[in-house]
Structure 1
Amino acid sequence: MINFLYEANAIKDILVEIRRELHKNPEIDRNLKYTASLVEKYLKQYSIDYKRYDNCGIIAEIGKSDKIVALRADMDALEIEDLKDKPYSSIKKGLMHACGHDAHTAIQIGAAIILKKYESKLNGKVRLIFQPAEETDGGAKDMINFGALDNVRAIYALHVDETLDTGVIGVKKGLVAAASNPFKISIFGKGAHGAYPHDGIDSIYIAAKVIDGIQGIISREVAAADSAVITVGKIHGGTAANAVARNVDIEGIIRTVGDDLRQFVLSRFKEVVIDTSRIYRGIAEVDIFESYPSFSNDDILFNDFIKFVGDINEIKLIEIQKPGMGVEDFAYYTKLVPGLYYKLGCRNVEKGIVHPAHGSYFDIDEDCLALGSATQTMCAFNYLNSHK
């Protein structure tokens, strides 16, 4: 029996080197030329077949068969300033791997190296998806259009988690992550002198009522056991301190878990905004934009994962009890094939690695890299050897 953790630890120095090189050179969205070239370098070095696409995404394959399991890694960084004082801190001002996608890419390359070494023992084919634009508008959709899921029977992905200690893996049964719907509201009233508000229709006053009203959807119309959030993140209105504002623009985000709840909240959101504005003699325009859907882990893949990962002494496996309100474009894959998404602990208090993702001091305990590569490799081998 192959000891995948031993194999991953044997290439740990390579994984750390890759991760640090990527961390120093973050790229965003689909502009990942350096990142993709680094991935290509290792795929070529280990004679792994692949194809690179115009969006800088890469699809590689190891093994032979129509029986295919996929592993996915996202590669893009964020527009965040890196304030860490480390040798591998970002050299690109305003850009940073603040969510750990550099680690995901290194882990995926590590899994590829191990899978290639034991290619003859694969009872099928592993497809490795290196994906751009998870942080922006869903590069998963690009990769699906390029055929990433053609004939794929299941797909796995991980995400580093700074709330879990290194050595801990967390997995959620059922619903995993929220759906996201950005919104923009434009409220139109009538301008007037601030001393004579009765001559106008105060759009700022209406906006205050609207904001209060939409929060009432969450506090009074969504069951306490369900998960939904409405956040107003941006508001702009008025041009002078002594004038009634003619119009106000409001922007924010709606997060919901589960398709039924999503449809209910979106419907009520529009009603509350439009009707509240009308009550106070204003007019509202509401634009709600489609973004990532919520998704669930497949029950069969979840049960398998619990069994084969739970038997590994070096891993502390925990079951996550609640879905997260963050979003993840892995959802687009799971709409088409069974999928499993899990969290890889990367926190280490003794090393000072405690800072939150999407923050300027985010870092990972690089001891998690080998564990991630080993686990992803085990997912592929287990699926191909235990499913017909």
Structure 2
Amino acid sequence: MIDFFKESKDIFSELVYIRRTLHKNPEVDRNLNFTASFVEDYLKKNSIEYKRFDNCGIIAEVGKGENIVALRADMDALEIEDLKDVEYKSLKKGYMHACGHDAHTAIQVGAAIILKKHENKLKGRVRFIFQPAEETDGGAKDMINYGALEGVRAIYALHVDEKLHTGTIGIKKGMVAAASNPFKIIVEGKGAHGANPQDGIDSIYIAAKIIDNLQGIVSREISATDSAVITIGKINGGTAPNAVARQVEIEGIVRTIGEELRIFILDRIKEIVNATAKMYRGYAYIDIVESYPSFSNDNALYEKFIKNFSNSGYINLIELEKAEMGVEDFSYYTKIVPGLYYRLGCRNEEKGIINPAHGSYFDIDEECLWIGTAVQCINAFDFLNNHN
């Protein structure tokens, strides 16, 4: 039996180097030329076959045969200032790996290196999907269009989690993450002098009523045991403090768990926006974007994961009680093939690694790198060799 934990620990210094190099050179969306080239160098050095695409995504493979399992890593960073005082601090002002995708990429490269060494023992192929644009508009869709899931029977992904201590893995049975629907509302009124509001139709007043009424959906129209959030994040309107505003723009996002609830809330948003505007003699236009869907872990893959790691001497495996209200474009893969997504603990209070993701002080305990590498190797190897 291959000891993937030992082999991963043996390349720990390499994993740290990969992660820190990427952390110092963050790139966003599909503009990942340095990142993709850096990954390519490792694939070439280890004689791993791959193809790079126009969006800077990469698909690599080891092994032979028609039985295929995929591992996915997202590679993009965020437009956030890195304020940490560390030697691997971002070299690009205003850009930072604030969500741990540098760690995901390092783990994926490590898994590819190790599984390449053992490809003669694989009963099939492991496909490594290095994906851009998870933080923007869903690079998973690009990779699917490029054929990333052709012939794939299952796909695995992880995400570092600063709320879980290093050595802990969190996994959720069933529903894992929310769906998201960004929206934009334009409220049209009629401009007038502020001293004579009766001559106008106040779009700011209407917008305030719309915002208030929308929050009533979650607080009064769905069960307290259902999960939904309506966030209004941006408002823009008016031209002068002494004028009744003609137009207001409102932008927000809806997050829901479950398709039935999502459809209900989106329908109610449209009804409330239109009815509220009409009530105060205005007009409203609403555009709702179809964004990331919610997704669930496959039951068979979940049970296999529990069996493989519940008694591991390296991992404290815990069951996550609630689905995340954050979204994840891994959901696009799981609409096509069975998938499993889990949280890899990276918190270390003794090292001061306690800060939240998407924040300027986010960091990881790098000990999680070899653990994640080993777990991904085991997932792929076990699926190909032991999964019916």
Superimposed CA distance per residue, residues 144-175 of structure 1 (whole angstroms, 9 cap, x where no aligned partner)? 01100000000000000000000000000010
How far apart are 1:343 and its partner, in Å? 0.2
1:24 match: 24
User: Displacement of 1:243 after TM fit?
Assistant: 1.1
Residue 293 of structure 2 is matched in structure 1 by: 293
Alignment correspondent of 1:266: 266
1:106 deviation in Å? 0.1
- 2:77 corresponds to 1:77: yes
Partner of 1:102: 102
Q: Could you tell me which residue of structure 2 aligns to residue 249 of structure 1? A: 249
Secondary structure class of the residue paired with 2:274 = helix
**Deviation of residue 119 (structure 1)?**
0.8
Shift of residue 124, structure 1, vs aligned partner: 1.0
Structure 1 counterpart of 2:321: 321
Distance across 1 between alignment mates of 2:242 and 2:43: 65
- Give the distance between the partners of 2:268 and 2:351, measured in 1 at CA: 47
Say which SS state the counterpart of residue 51 (structure 1) adopts. strand
Question: SS at the partner of 1:102?
Answer: helix
Task: Name the count of aligned residue pairs.
Answer: 388
Tell me the amino acid that sits aligned with residue 328 of structure 1: E
Residue 302 (1) aligns with residue 299 (2)? no
Cα deviation per residue 1:177-202 (whole Å; 9 max; x = unaligned)?
A: 01111110000111111111111111
- Normalising to structure 1: TM-score of the pair? 0.99
Aligned-pair CA distance for 1:304: 0.5
Whole-Å separation in 2 of the counterparts to 1:364 and 1:186? 41
Check if 1:371 corresponds to 2:360. Answer: no
1:48-68: CA deviation from partner (whole Å, max 9, x where unpaired) = 111111111000001001100
How far apart are the structure 2 equivalents of 1:115 and 1:143? 22
What is the aligned partner in structure 2 of residue 225 from structure 1? 225
Instruction: Please state whether the residue corresponding to 1:137 is helix, strand or coil.
Output: coil
2: CA distance between counterparts of 1:151 and 1:223? 41
1:288-317 deviation per Cα after TM superposition (whole angstroms, max 9, x unaligned) = 011111100000000100110112111000
SS of structure 2 residue aligned to 1:36: helix
Equivalent residue for 2:185?
Answer: 185
Percent identical:
71
User: Who is 2:203 aligned against?
Assistant: 203
Q: Does residue 166 in structure 1 map to residue 166 in structure 2? A: yes
Aligned to 2:213: 213
Q: TM-score, normalised by structure 2?
A: 0.99
Distance 1:193 1:52 in 2: 59
Report the AA paired with residue 160 of structure 1.
V
The code of the aligned residue for 1:132 comes to: P
Shift in Å, 1:280:
0.7
1:349 corresponding residue in structure 2: 349
Identify the residue that residue 121 of structure 1 maps to in structure 2: 121
* Distance in 2, Cα, partners of 1:96 & 1:12: 23
For 1:150, the equivalent position in structure 2 comes to 150
Structure 2 segments unaligned to the other structure (5+ residues): none
* 1:78-116 Cα shifts (integer Å, max 9, x gaps): 000000111000000110000000000000001011101
Give 1:330 shift: 0.1
**CA–CA separation in structure 2 for the residues paired with 1:355 and 1:375:** 24
Measure, in 2, the Cα distance between the counterparts of 1:334 and 1:122. Answer: 24
Partner SS state of residue 2, structure 1: coil
SS at match of 2:369: helix
Work out whether 1:92 is the aligned partner of 2:55: no
Superimposed CA distance per residue, residues 259-309 of structure 1 (whole angstroms, 9 cap, x where no aligned partner): 111111111000000111101111000000111111000000001001101
Q: Distance in 2 between matches of 1:311 and 1:373?
A: 18
Match of 2:206, SS? helix
Q: Distance in 1 between matches of 2:247 and 2:132?
A: 38
Distance 1:226 1:147 in 2: 36
SS at match of 1:22: helix
Paired with 1:242 and 1:348, the residues of 2 have a C-alpha distance of: 54
CA apart distance, 1:137: 0.6
1:5 maps to a residue whose letter is F
Q: Indicate the SS of the match to 2:160.
A: strand
Alpha-carbon separation, structure 1, partners of 2:274 and 2:190: 16
For residues 31 and 311 of structure 2, the distance between their equivalents in structure 1, rounded to whole angstroms, comes to 41
| Partner SS, residue 249 of structure 2 | strand
Quote how far apart the aligned CAs of 1:24 are. 0.2
Give me the whole-angstrom Cα distance separating, in 2, the residues matched to 1:361 and 1:215: 32
Shift of 1:387: 2.0
**RMSD of aligned residue pairs (Cα, Å):** 0.6
Structure 2 counterparts to residues 36-51 of structure 1, below 5 A: 36-51=36-51
